[in-house]
Amino acid sequence: MAKKFTFKKEPRETGLAAIGSGEPSTIIKLEKKEVGLIASPNWRTQEKFWRIRLMVNREMKDNCDWEWITLKAKFEEEPKARAFLNEKFDLIIALDLRKADDD
């Protein structure tokens, strides 16, 4: 089993889609599978903080066996969010993360 998360930057928006979008978000991976996202600040959030969103397995609800959760922690810089995830690795793994299918 992996002992830390890996990360992959999403591509930057271009053209009209880029208007109002800030930096690209970062995909959180565990054993080469997507388990969450470090969401970048943008015009919709009304904040200037990076947030961590994770896919967590849950009991079947509305024909879906997982859901997104957002951690309360906020970060001024994306590298701080990455460091937080790897510092709290054991606690976060205990959340029963859902591993998404391959890209």
15 lies in some domain: no
50 lies in some domain: yes
What confidence tens digit (pLDDT) does each residue in 2-47 have? 789 999 998 887 787 777 667 889 999 999 999 999 998 877 767 7
103 lies in some domain: no
Query: What is the domain extent for residue 31?
Result: 6-10+24-93
What confidence tens digit (pLDDT) does each residue in 51-101 have? 999 999 987 767 788 899 999 999 999 999 999 999 999 999 999 899 887
> In terms of pTM, does the model score above 0.75?
yes
- State how many domains the chain has: 1
pLDDT on residue 103: 42
87 lies in some domain: yes
83 lies in some domain: yes
16 lies in some domain: no
In angstroms, the CA 13 to CA 64 distance is 29
The three-state secondary structure class of 7 is strand
pLDDT on residue 12: 83
Angle at CA of residue 24, ends 22 and 73, nearest 5°: 85
Torsion of CA 71, 98, 10, 82, to 10 degrees: 50
61 lies in some domain: yes
